[in-house]
Chain A
């Protein structure tokens, strides 16, 4: 078999596995989010369907899929349905370049991190189109918030990625992992603690998670950009949101926590372990912090994260030049 065909087959198989992985994670995180929320608030969480409510998400998925698809009368139907599809379409591409283990990487690209940065930006575009297409003031306000939030928090992420790139001298995710060792003190987090904090906070804001979920702040905007969506339109937005949590955790694991390397038996299990711990922390934060006000959110980025990121970048450049 020639090289091109083999690559093609590998991409198709990888795509199918990735779609399965996305669905599995959406179910796991959806169930986890409700159960963890329940335990943190001293409730039981879902309990009725299956043992400990573990089949609740299956029932919910059937509900979402079988619901009638409604397009509001005053909405622009084309834009209204482009948005959720665009939101979900960009997500499988993000997983293509993530090195889960040395052997399980769909595309071992030399530009891995750039691919992730480029295609994760499509999500905000989808929110914009959805918010504008709904022809609803809450949706419009949600979309406007999503855009300003995204622009504000994209800059610190780029600065952090630039620092890591300067340090490792590569944009390839698998090479960034190979420059780190198995033990925690060999990870990038030790050399770049400021960068790790900036990356984590900015990622939270980029994927609209609490305490930065202002685009859909339900106490002010009903549900923000997704107000008018029901059924699978809403389902696709939620699927994309959960997948972005997994992608952000994977990227942070790769950049800062040594990826698939562990003290013993390096492999995909270490990657998944670190990734799910980060996912758990992201779900946990939801109940640890109240939602911030919008000016506080923008100040956090422009006045604290970006200066810290620039300082970190300059310090990294200086140290890389010296040693």
Chain B
């Protein structure tokens, strides 16, 4: 295995992701945990770059860092959760079960899939769009339905609260 820039970049992004994870788990305030999450998301975006999917990487930055994290910020700001619990052994034991389940699913998926280590080639954006609207039509439409339901739910909740006020 020769040492090339790809491996260095992979190591760098892995380190970034692990560092972000450690910051997210061990920090005492919830906002600092969120910063850890942002660091992780940037590391994952780097991984997408490494997989020759720059569009995915930029969407990762735009949607997750630009929108999702900002929304979480907003939720924390409005609910005013301090969450100064920090790291404790009882929480560790309680959180091992869901984390273990998630890890099991991931390990099964990764070991079950065929991964080839050839260097990937960048797919033109047009091909991506075409495959989204032909091969992967059904999942694509399902995702849009999920998003639409969430949006409609938010509108309904907003109207109900307004009616209660009146």
**Which residues from chain A sit less than 8 Å from chain B, CB to CB?**
4, 76, 78-79, 82, 109-111, 114-115, 117-119, 121-122, 124-125, 128-129, 132-133, 140, 143-144, 147-148, 150-151, 154, 171
A125 to B29, CA, bound (A): 17
- State whether B70 touches A150 (Cβ < 8 A): yes
A78 to B35, CA, bound (A): 10
CB-defined contacts of B62 to chain A, threshold 8 Å: 114, 117-118, 121
Closest to B76 in A: A132
- State whether A111 touches B65 (Cβ < 8 A): no
Main SS class of interface, A: helix
- State whether A125 touches B70 (Cβ < 8 A): yes
**Contacting residue for B58 out of A115, A129, A133, A144, CB 8 A:** A115
**Which residues from chain B sit less than 8 Å from chain A, CB to CB?**
5, 29, 31-32, 35, 38, 54-55, 58-59, 61-62, 65-67, 69-71, 73-74, 76-78, 125
- State whether A125 touches B58 (Cβ < 8 A): no
CB-defined contacts of B31 to chain A, threshold 8 Å: 76, 79, 129, 132-133
CB-defined contacts of B67 to chain A, threshold 8 Å: 121, 151, 154
Q: Give chain B nearest CB distance to A39 CB in angstroms.
A: 38
Q: Give chain A nearest CB distance to B107 CB in angstroms.
A: 32
24 A-B contacts (beta carbon < 8 Å): A76-B29, A78-B32, A79-B32, A110-B125, A111-B54, A114-B55, A114-B58, A114-B59, A118-B62, A121-B66, A121-B70, A122-B66, A124-B70, A125-B65, A125-B66, A125-B70, A132-B73, A133-B31, A144-B77, A144-B78, A147-B73, A151-B67, A151-B70, A154-B67
Q: Do A118 and B58 contact each other (CB < 8 Å), given the known contacts A76-B29, A76-B31, A82-B35?
A: yes
- State whether A118 touches B77 (Cβ < 8 A): no
